[in-house]
Every structure is written in C-alpha cells, then in structure tokens.
A and B are shown apart, each in its own frame.
Chain A
C-alpha cells in the first residue's frame, strides 16, 4: 500500500513513450530473427511437404492440382512399404535390447576404479564418434569374403576355410547389419549407463551388502529403479535412431539382397531420389512422422507414470 503512489508517478496518466514500448518488447525483437529462421527451415518444409503429399508430382509430371488422399490410399496397398516397416521393426527390436544389455554390462565392468579406466572408456566410445556411413564401410571391409578379418578369424577358429558372404547371403545380412549397428551404438548406451550407475547411492549398495542381498535383488530393488529414467531416455533416443536407420545398411547391403534389408528410410530414399515419386514420398514421410509421434508420445507417457 505504501509504495503504490510511487508506482503511479512512474506511469504518466496518458500514453507510453516510444522508449518504454521498445524496452518492453526488446527481448522479442532480439529473438525474432532466430525464430524466423527456425520457422523457415523447420516449419516451412514440413508444411510444404504436407501440401506436396496431397498433389501428384513425379519426375515427369508437374501436376500441382489437389489429388486428395490418393497418395495415402496408395500407402496401404504398397506391400514393399509394409515389408520395409517390418524390416525396420526387426532391426530395432533386436538391436535395441542388445545395445542396452551390452552397454549395461560394460558399464558394470567399468564402474569400479581401475588403472587405465579413463583410457579404456575413451577407446570404447570411439565407434560412436565416427560417422555411421564410415562404420558401415568399415564393416563391409571387415566382412569381405576375400580378405576380411572376420572371415579369417572364423576360419582360424573353425580350422578350415569359412567363406560367408555376409552382405549377400540372406541368412547373414541381418546379423551383419545388427553386428555393425550394435558395435557402433552400444558404447553410447555404455556411456549413459556408466554415468547413471555412478550416481546410484553408494551407501544404499553398502547397506544391501550388509543385509546380505544377492546381486539380482540389489539390481531389482536399488540399481534398476535408480537408473530407470536414464535407461528410458537412452532407449527413446536409440529407438528413434534405429527406426530411421539408413547409413549402415546403405554401406553394407544397399537394402539387398533384393529388398530384403530395405528399411523405411531406404525405401523412402529410393522412392524419392531414384524413382522420383515426389508426392508419394512426401506421403511416406508423413506416415513415418505419425508413427514416430505416436511411439514417442506413448513412451513419454509411460515415463511420466513411472515417476
């Protein structure tokens, strides 16, 4: 009450000066260019491809008339598309748990102090640092049937020449892709889980040791609940990456043999940039966006509930 007259004196009865207006809106003025650029590069392509998905543009046709839901109806009849989604699901469902498990075991191994720990951690994280296309190319050489070390090591172990066409033989293409994927991204899980594990309350673990609890019981009652939020975020990040997997497969098999390892990203790329079905590709893109949005929303909801 005492200070209200003072406030009134700073606000003249009528109108505000230009300086005052500028002062109020200055923050918005300052961030406006950045927001505009973001809208231009982020929102505009999205909206534009949504428009394109309702048209009928291909390499040879420039038909920008409204085509209705034609492209979307086409999606449901496209067996190669659903097969590609299936391939994507197979790789995700196998690689994600493997990366999580291997990352967790590595983190458990490195949680204790030991000489050279930092060096080992740095070396182990290297695969994650390199670009996926390089990882794929590297593993293509590793798997090479003539001089690849994988074949040589297997031959040595088996005691006879082992010739596996890793990137061609239908029985081995998925293992090859998953080995490469897991090799590259387990260290990512390892790093996140190492950080999460080192935040587990030490005295809780000590109390459990004095209580005589088995490792499994400690894992279930103390460690897993404590690292669950990190695990959930890590799985979400890796899961989204796996659904969009492209480079490794492009380098290893190019989706082959046939379209056996064609994932949704590969199929979208082929439709868009070798078949030039521009409008249809836009529709596929929106299908993927819708799928990922649903998955992400569900996962985030689960996480909220778990809290």
Chain B
C-alpha cells in the first residue's frame, strides 16, 4: 500500500513535450483515473510512474520514497496492459505465477496465491490453457490475476478495457471496481473513456496537452467544471455550448443568443455576473437539464423555451432530441415519450440552475 506523489514531472519525446509539469498526489488506497483525449500524455504519465519511461524533470515518489532511479522491477508495481501482454508460450497458471517465480516464492505459497487469484477472478478452470485459447474477457482476467497475485503496492491499468466489446467492457468495469473494494490497493487507471472515468474513480485527473486541467471527485468535476474543456469532456452526450451575450433585463441578467432568443439566468447568478453585461459567453447546458414543460408553474431558475425536434434518437429509456437553441444544434435528453416524431414543436423546460457559463476567450468557467 502506498501513496504516489508526482512533482514537476516533464517528459519529452524528441520535440514533443508530452508531459508538461504535472504535480499530483494520489492517496493510499485511492482509485485515481487519468483521463483525457488521445495524446494528452496520460499513458506517458502512467509509464513514467511504472518506470518504463524516465521523466526528463521532476520527481516521482511511491510510499514516500523517491523512485526516479529505481528500475521498474524494484518499484513493486503491478501493471495491466491494453493488449494484456500475456506470455503466449506459458499456460494461464504460469502466466499468473511468472512474477512469483521470478521472486523465488516457495512452491506451496505460489500455488496457494495463484489459486486464490484465479478463484477471485473466476478463471480457476482455465489454469492449464494457453492465452491463445482464451476469449478477450478471459485474457483480461488473467492479466489482472497476474497483477493481483504479486500483492504489489501499486496497481497501474493502461486502458485495460479498450480492446473488449461493449457488453464485456461494462461487466469488467464492474469487476475492477469490486476488485478495488476487496484489495484496497492504490490504483491508477488510464482511459480515454469518460464513462469509465466517472464510474470507477475516487478521483479523476483530467489531462489536456500534458497538463492537469482539473482533478477531483467525479461528481465535483461533472457539476463544477473549471473550464469549458472539462465541461465538454465529461458527460454523455456532451454538454451543449451555445454562444450568447450577457444582457441586463428588468429583473436580472439574461443570455441573449445570436438569433435574438433569450434565456433569463437564475436570480442566484445575478450578483456574481454584475458588471459583465455585454460580454460574450458560451452557455453550457447539459442534455439532462432539458425536460418537456408540463404546463404548470416552473421552478426558480427553470425557463421555458419553444423548440422543434429536428432529429430524435430513442434509446429506450430516454430520447435524445436534436433541437435548435439560439440558432445552433443542441441535444436534449428527454423522457421516452416526450417527443414522438420529427418536426414536432415542443415547449422545453431548461434548468439553468446548473448551467455553466464559459468565457469563450480563455475557455474558463465564469463562477
């Protein structure tokens, strides 16, 4: 068990500055997810922690000890790779036992631990098979088994689910989360999939262009993003960003769209937006914050807005409806039967209490 501390970590590949000064503390037992678009440096950062890459600057400490000069094998780390990296010429049992044999674990202890790990992952019946005889999901379990059997201080996962099909991915995601509850080792997990990040993480570290854009608990990032990038990256379908201008009205402040439409912002926002009238903004509204107006009185901060359903995509439980708001396309996630056909005009209730206002110049959220 160990905490991980990175300070001022930089990594260059030739002219490419892949990691640009990352400071990060991951607490003992925490499940941290490094997430970001491809090329953001998340895998590089993970490999740097593992010791498979050397940082060009900065220090990495695991369990309080600086490990910069330690080889990967000396860091007591276990890692699960994207392509599983199973040893193809060894049986499942020998794959799992490989690290134990390398560390000269006595045979009795070795057998006990391999069986424990295999039971835990439900691969007890596959021990004598070879990796090529296994399905993708089984291979992934073996890769995880090989990691847990070592009882390492730190677990690293490098996009472990991205080679699996959607159903298996959901299943394995649950298993990895359960695994973390059972063995409570510090885990660092890299993914580009925001759903994995949201569902697995105790702490999300969102990276962009080699820097940490924002980190925190999943819901904290989701509900209080610090930048437009964070707001746009988390959530599915992603947040609608509608260009507008702030304007004062009789009873507060409104967002005025380019096509002249307006939405009045909640009274609670007025004080913080004083003096910003006339400034351009991006109004960020999550698809989930639209609903069909029922005709009754609307809550404080919820505004009605008439819109035409241009495209509807029913998912069964919800219906994703493309509408025009302020002249741009936006997606509203409505109840299954709220809208039935293309071209239907409906009255929407827009919850602006949780809307995000973004400064289009800096990309930062206006608090």
Interface residues of chain A, those whose CB is within 8 Å of chain B, are 201, 203-204, 206-214, 217, 221-222, 225-226
**What is the CA–CA distance of A201 and B150 in the complex, to the nearest angstrom?**
22
Question: Is B79 an interface residue, CB under 8 A from the partner?
Answer: yes
7 closest Cβ contacts across the A-B interface? A211-B99, A203-B85, A225-B89, A212-B73, A213-B102, A207-B85, A212-B102
Other-chain contact of B87, A208, A212, A214 (Cβ < 8 Å): A208
Q: Say yes or no: A213 contacts B98, CB within 8 Å.
A: yes
**What is the CA–CA distance of A208 and B78 in the complex, to the nearest angstrom?**
10
Known contacts A210-B79, A212-B103, A221-B90; A201 and B98 CB within 8 A of each other? no
Q: Say yes or no: A204 contacts B85, CB within 8 Å.
A: yes
**What is the CA–CA distance of A209 and B70 in the complex, to the nearest angstrom?**
12
**Residues in chain A near residue B87, CB distance under 8 A:** 204, 207-208, 221-222
Q: Mark B258-299, 1 if CB is under 8 A from A, else 0.
A: 000000000000000000000000000000000000000000
Q: Say yes or no: B98 contacts A210, CB within 8 Å.
A: no
Q: 14 A-B Cβ contacts within 8 A?
A: A201-B85, A203-B85, A204-B86, A204-B88, A206-B79, A206-B85, A209-B73, A210-B72, A210-B79, A211-B146, A213-B73, A221-B94, A221-B98, A225-B89
Q: Say yes or no: B73 contacts A210, CB within 8 Å.
A: yes
**What is the CA–CA distance of A225 and B94 in the complex, to the nearest angstrom?**
15
* Chain B 94-111 residues near chain A, CB threshold 8 A: 94, 98-99, 101-103
Task: State the majority secondary structure of interface residues on A.
Answer: helix
**What is the CA–CA distance of A211 and B88 in the complex, to the nearest angstrom?**
16
Q: Report the minimum CB–CB distance from B44 to chain A (whole Å).
A: 14
Question: Is B305 an interface residue, CB under 8 A from the partner?
Answer: no
Q: Report the minimum CB–CB distance from A234 to chain B (whole Å).
A: 19
Q: Which B residue's beta carbon lies closest to that of A202?
A: B85
Cross-chain pair count, CB within 8 angstroms: 64
Q: Say yes or no: B83 contacts A210, CB within 8 Å.
A: no
**What is the CA–CA distance of A225 and B146 in the complex, to the nearest angstrom?**
20
Q: Which A residue's beta carbon lies closest to that of B97?
A: A211
**What is the CA–CA distance of A136 and B71 in the complex, to the nearest angstrom?**
47
Question: Is B77 an interface residue, CB under 8 A from the partner?
Answer: yes
Q: Say yes or no: B98 contacts A206, CB within 8 Å.
A: no
Other-chain contact of A221, B50, B78, B89 (Cβ < 8 Å): B89
**What is the CA–CA distance of A52 and B90 in the complex, to the nearest angstrom?**
54
Instruction: Name the residue in B71, B98, B99, B150 with the highest tally of chain A Cβ atoms < 10 Å from its Cβ.
Output: B98
Q: Report the minimum CB–CB distance from B46 to chain A (whole Å).
A: 12
Q: Which B residue's beta carbon lies closest to that of A207?
A: B85
List 12 additional contacts besides A209-B73, A212-B73; criterion CB under 8 Å: A204-B86, A207-B81, A207-B87, A209-B72, A210-B72, A211-B99, A211-B102, A211-B150, A212-B103, A217-B102, A221-B90, A222-B89
Question: Is B366 an interface residue, CB under 8 A from the partner?
Answer: no
